[in-house]
């Protein structure tokens, strides 16, 4: 690092272009005296100016070059860059804490360095400097808020990706686990019924074997759309895996779940799977099994009971609804 004593009282044009000295009276003798106590410094490419591991007592105003703001020394991608006229270090001077990010030179850089005691004396001498410093801080906070907002939005997107089946747009098994826990607690607290429908696409392997895997995907999308549309707002549907789907029905008895299941079966049977490679895909049917929650039932136990009923529907000819044998149909 090179250090050069400064005689900057004559550099008024340069100073007037800097954020900190915008609209400042640069003829003020007291201010010029303070400026004469500052210095220019040059930093080589990659040289660290501010570190998160060391206290900082200086404001650095960039005159030439560019600076990178990074979370730490191991972060290769800058959070932001600093351009000539902008400054760094003001936050750590304000709160007397180590910088929250590392600042290093992206290229050969020249800065004006103002020691913190001199900065506070400048603020006392010039209200415009005080105003400019507040503006710089507000811009920094505003930018930080934007970064936080973007980060939260990205987290929400990741959460949606993590809980959503990419092909059908339905929720996935992981989401169903969480939803079941919530609904069981509500069911127990309010003494409400809870039912589960397991759905399997009939002869799904034939679509893949005879028409290709794109046809299989198209069938799954068609089924997802068909079973989603007639459900009530509080009903919860998920792709369970492969060609299986699950529908969780809060506040629903087994008898009413059977009515809903018949509606789903009918919707799928009437759905048009579309055309692929100039070939009309055959109509789709589904087999459905129903189980109601019993005291002490876990999600796996309800799934197992509904699965037994669903495979019973397949053995009885497919395209039908069956209810788990150990569940009462009394409403």
| Rounded-to-integer distance, Cα 170 and Cα 128, Å | 57
39 is catalytic: no
For the chain, give the longest Cα–Cα distance.
Answer: 99
115 pairs with which residues across the strands? Answer: 58
Q: Give the number of other CB atoms < 10 A from CB of residue 181.
A: 12
- Active-site choice (90, 183, 243, 322): 243
User: By CB neighbour count within 10 A (0-12 exposed, 13-18 middle, 19+ buried), where does 24 fall?
Assistant: buried
Closest CA to 104 of 154, 51, 151: 51
What lies within 8 Å, CB to CB, of 90 at 6+ separation is 59, 133, 136, 137, 140
Closest CA to 240 of 289, 293, 292, 176: 176
| Rounded-to-integer distance, Cα 314 and Cα 331, Å | 26
Closest CA to 102 of 36, 141, 52, 65: 52
Torsional sign, CA 14, 17, 21, 25: positive
Q: Which residues are catalytic?
A: 243
């Amino acid at each position: 690092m090179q250090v050069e004593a400064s005689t900057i009282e004559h550099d008024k044009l340069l100073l007037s272009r800097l954020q900190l000295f915008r609209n400042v009276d640069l003829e003020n003798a007291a201010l010029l005296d303070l400026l004469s106590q500052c210095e220019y410094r040059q930093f080589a490419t990659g040289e660290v100016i501010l570190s998160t591991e060391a206290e900082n007592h200086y404001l650095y105003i960039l005159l030439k070059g560019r600076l990178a703001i990074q979370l730490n020394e191991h972060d290769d991608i800058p959070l932001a860059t600093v351009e000539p006229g902008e400054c760094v270090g003001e936050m750590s001077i304000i709160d007397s804490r180590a910088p929250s990010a590392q600042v290093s030179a992206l290229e050969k850089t020249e800065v004006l360095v103002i020691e913190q005691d001199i900065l506070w004396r400048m603020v006392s001498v010039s209200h415009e400097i005080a105003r400019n410093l507040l503006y710089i801080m507000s811009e920094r906070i505003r930018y930080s808020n934007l970064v936080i907002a973007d980060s939260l939005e990205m987290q929400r997107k990741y959460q949606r990706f993590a809980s959503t089946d990419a092909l059908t747009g339905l929720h996935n098994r992981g989401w169903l686990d969480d939803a079941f826990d919530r609904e069981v607690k509500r069911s127990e607290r309010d003494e409400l019924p809870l039912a589960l429908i397991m759905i399997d696409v009939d002869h799904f392997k034939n679509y893949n074997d005879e028409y290709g895997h794109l046809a299989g995907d198209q069938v799954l999308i068609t089924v997802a759309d068909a079973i989603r549309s007639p459900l009530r707002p509080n009903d919860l549907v998920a792709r369970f895996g492969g060609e299986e789907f699950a529908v969780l029905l809060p506040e629903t008895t087994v008898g009413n779940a059977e009515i809903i299941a018949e509606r789903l079966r009918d919707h799928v049977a009437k759905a048009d799977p579309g055309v692929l490679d100039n070939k009309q895909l055959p109509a789709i049917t589904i087999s459905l099994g129903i189980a109601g929650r019993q005291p002490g039932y876990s999600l796996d136990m309800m799934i197992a009971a509904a699965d037994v009923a669903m495979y019973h529907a397949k053995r009885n000819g497919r395209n039908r609804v069956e209810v788990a044998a150990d569940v009462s149909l009394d409403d």
